[in-house]
Amino acid sequence: MRKSKTLARLRNGETVRMCCLGHYIPGFVKHAAHFGFDCIWLDLEHRNIADRDIETLLVHSHLHDIDIMVRPPTLEKTRLYRYLEDGATGLMIPHVNDAAKAKMLVDSIKYPPMGDRGLDGAGLDADYLVDGMPGVDDYLSKVNDETFLVVQVETPTAIQAVSEIAAVPGVDGIFVGPGDLGLRLKHFDGDMTLDSAFADTAAACKQHGKAWGSPVGTPEILAERQAQGAQLLAHGGDFGAMMKLLQECAANFDNNPR
């Protein structure tokens, strides 16, 4: 099966170069790979892309040798591992507040003995059964090591439990969601801050040998998170690039009025 660039980077102690996609733009996959990104975060939590179009984007990721990490709109077990069968390299699950939910997710998307994912063997991830059962046996020997699970901590409750979440076998990474966490901290009766949440996550992941990360909007924040030990860093995407381009083009018209 295809090897994960994300996991290769993590195992080498390197930063994973991630960008975000929330719309059906097949060419984006090629461009992200061309410019050296390792992984595309495909956001289906806040964006709506048809199932067939998702399958097409995942096929493009194999064609251009770049990981796609799907953030799904569901926790339904069979739908979660269908994304992996269709070619996703990893999943990122929002709002994981405790170790019990993390364990449930591992059970859903990892094969035995680690989890209880159902076996088909005829998906893109297993080369559509083209090599028959010997190919499936080879696939099963690699699949748990070449697919990944990232869980998002986005509430004060999750940060308080971050060490227990990081300790769960089968959780490969933890991703701090500063938008949702910042919103909830405004209503939290305690001394937790975004800075302390990042520090607690970094410490927990270091203790348990897990990767962690977050979105980073500027080069300065990128460098700050790297200094804290973060490897899963999402910088750039279709929405921000579109806004920036339109802003620049509109300014060109403003600077050349007729």
Enter the tokens of residue 96: 């994981």
CA–CA separation, 155 and 254 (whole Å) = 43
Enter the tokens of residue 157: 């409750």
Contacts of 36 (CB under 8 A, 6+ apart): 17
Identity of the residue numbered 109? I
Contact call for residues 188 and 197 (beta carbons, < 8 A): no
DSSP string, 37-89: -SEEEEE-SSS---HHHHHHHHHHHHHTT-EEEEE-S---HHHHHHHHHTT-S
Buried b / exposed e along 20-40 (16+ C-beta atoms within 10 A):
bbbbebeebbeebbeeebbbb
Which residues are tagged catalytic?
A: 46
